[in-house]
Amino acid sequence: MSAVHGPTVGRRRLRSALRAAREAAGLTQEQVAAEMEWSLSKIIRIEAGAVGVSPIDTRALLKLYGVTAQPRVDELVTLSRSTRARRWWSSFAGALPASYMAYIGLEAETSSVLCYTPTKLPGLFQTEAYAEKASRRDRTGTDEQSRVEVRLTRQREVLGKDDPPHITAVIDEAVVRRIASDPRTKREQLERLVSLSGEPNITIQVLPFTVGVDAFPNPFAILQFPDPADDDVMFVESGLADDVVDQPELVGPYRDEFERLRELALSPADTRDMIKKIVGELD
């Protein structure tokens, strides 16, 4: 992966740096808003990473915070420029939930993905037919066509790049066996899983029925980045809403849970054999 930060990770690093600089200067968000003649909500949104911040505003904030070392100023101003770059998913703003858009941006810059899926296949592994069926069952009220288009574009952009991230997926056996009601979609999807499992950067493990009911209920994905300065980020899905979580104290337990589930799951080789066997049963 390139050492250059993309817009999503860049915004994340910038907002953390600006918040830390403000706190080091002993200023409250209210005081900064008054000094800059901004609304309080603007400061809150900048530090939450909800909006970008221009190079001019970045310089003004750093001056207010007493950050004068030129290398540090140049570094953060460069980050502010990167956060304003448009990427392919920008055209879907408004059609998809903000949390999902944030996840796509982070996924594009990750070096490793750890995901657990107890109800459906990971989006990066889905065929178009499977994605269409899964999107019809989506209850977020978002545009179905957009979700399918984004899912397929994610696959091309993430799996098709020169240095793709390593993806480790633990998938419940029920998901593999209940791929689809029609044989054609089921075969196509299972064969895609077999093909993906042969890629050097993809590890697929099935969590078998034999482990019993001791499993985590909600699907989640943990994104890891090439720079140690960037903490892991987690995307948690639920029946009501999805959420991006970047607090280390919250992500840590999920990482531990993922490793536990991975130990309970079949090995990659046994998983591949199971999927091939299910394909054979379709004949």
Where would I find the beta strands (DSSP E) of 8-161?
112-117
Q: Which fold has domain 7-82?
A: 434 Repressor (Amino-terminal Domain) (1.10.260)
Predicted pLDDT at 137: 57
User: How far is Cα 194 from Cα 199, in angstroms, rounded to an integer?
Assistant: 9
CATH 1.10.260 residue spans of the chain: 7-82
Please, which residues have CB within 8 angstroms of residue 72's CB and are 6 or more apart in sequence? 62
Which pTM value belongs to this model? Answer: 0.77
Mean pLDDT of the chain: 87
Torsion of CA 138, 149, 174, 199, to 10 degrees: -160
pLDDT in tens, 3-20: 445 667 777 888 889 999
CATH 3.30.870 residue spans of the chain: 91-280
Where would I find the beta strands (DSSP E) of 148-281?
166-172, 202-207, 220-224, 233-236, 243-245
Q: Which of 208, 185, 199, 180 is nearest to 274 (CA)?
A: 208
Please, which residues have CB within 8 angstroms of residue 267's CB and are 6 or more apart in sequence? 205
pLDDT in tens, 172-190: 999 999 987 888 999 999 9
User: How far is Cα 237 from Cα 119, in angstroms, rounded to an integer?
Assistant: 11
Torsion of CA 96, 17, 247, 53, to 10 degrees: -10
pLDDT in tens, 120-147: 999 999 999 999 888 765 545 556 788 8
Would strands 220-224 and 202-207 be described as parallel, antiparallel, or unpaired?
A: unpaired
| CATH no. of 91-280 | 3.30.870
Predicted pLDDT at 2: 37
User: Both tokens of residue 200?
Assistant: 């050097």
User: How far is Cα 275 from Cα 283, in angstroms, rounded to an integer?
Assistant: 14
